[in-house]
Amino acid sequence: MSLFSKQAQVENSQSSSLLGRLSERLGSLASGTAVILIVVAIGFWMSWYTIPSDSVGMVQRFGKFTAEVPSGLHFKIPFGVDLVTILPVKRQLKQEFGFGTSGATNAGQYSDEPDNESSMVTGDLNAATVEWILQYRITEPQQYLFQIREPGETLRDVSESVMREVVGDRTVDEVITIGRQEIEVEALKRMQLLAKRFELGVSIDQVQLKNVNPPAPVRESFNEVNQAQQEKERLINEARRDYNKVIPLAEGEKDQRIQEAEGYKLKRVNEAEGDISRFNAVFAQYQKAPAVTKQRMYLETMQSVLPKVQNKIIIDNQVQGILPWLNLNKNIAPPPERLTNPNEQGATQ
């Protein structure tokens, strides 16, 4: 091998090692730039957030509360420096006890063990299964988020405790039948008082009982009792309906009869007073001229009596006897005229 060829090999090896070191430096620089760009992109993506129209955002910087931001688009320091908690302050939230509705709109709406919540003991030492709904709003976001640890679970515990206390003060019949509304009102008052005392930052709007049933072994007996009570109420309502239908009608008929009697009484009294006045007037005229009055009364009486008589016979006072004539052919047509000869006519003449 010649000297030139050896020198060429040395130069080629030196140039290849130089290119290798240069490519390594460029590769490390490119990878570092890519990492920086990725980190910047992630930070930019994490630096903005959106608050819904029915919520507010509670911003914490290194765990310390800094601001309460309204709905809309906002920016924060990424990588865990600023932490934003969204609270739906304009929406009514609810918690379900003893059951759970699929598709819950808020976290902690129902428990994983609903049977333990709904099983209660009444004041007369009977068992009952009580299901209810608690509706509330977040009125103080800062107090709700920082005053109590796990405010949703605390509210559930408060509601369950109050409901057990209220149910335990009543009999099982009151809980299942007639005392539902009283239980709702009493439980609402006590829950509102405890929520204010514990500074939960919520406003409890309504407590509504859903299904209140006895335990399964005695449920049929309680249902029969409820049906009997409902049948009793139905019969009482029907009797009241009939009473309200018949009694006013009888009262109206009574008032009508009384008014008719009063009218008849007034009529007879007025007629009697009119007869008395008329008699007194006739008597006064009779005292003045007895014969004239007597004759006038006779003529007036005959004038009222004669039109009612069908057959009339007028005779003189000096007539000794009278042959009454009975008109039997009044409604019979007269017989037809017959021809007579002259001799009969002359004999007749």
Q: Are 192 and 204 in contact (CB under 8 A)?
A: yes
* Angstrom distance (rounded) from CA 337 to CA 176: 110
Please state which CATH class domain 93-214 belongs to. alpha beta
Show me where the domains of the chain are located: 48-87, 93-214, 236-300
Model pLDDT for residues 47-74, shown as the tens digit of each residue: 888 999 999 999 999 889 999 999 998 8
Model pLDDT for residues 213-234, shown as the tens digit of each residue: 887 777 787 778 778 888 998 9
DSSP output for 247-316: HHHHHHHHHHHHHHHHHHHHHHHHHHHHHHHHHHHHHHHHHH-HHHHHHHHHHHHHHHHGGG-SS-----
- Collect all residues with Cβ–Cβ distance below 8 Å to 34 and sequence separation of at least 6: none
Which pLDDT value is given to residue 344? 44
Partners of 56 in beta bridges: 87
Which pLDDT value is given to residue 213? 85
Phi, psi of 246 (to 5 degrees): -85, -45
Closest CA to 138 of 165, 161, 107, 113: 107
Which pLDDT value is given to residue 333? 54
Which pLDDT value is given to residue 173? 82
| Ranges in the chain, pLDDT < 70 | 1-30, 32, 35, 39-40, 43, 311-317, 319-349
Which pLDDT value is given to residue 56? 93
Return the residue matching tokens 């090692």: 17
* Angstrom distance (rounded) from CA 226 to CA 230: 6
Burial of 341 (0-12, 13-18, 19+ CB in 10 A): exposed
Integer Rg of the chain from CA: 59
Please tell me the total number of residues recorded for the chain in this structure: 349
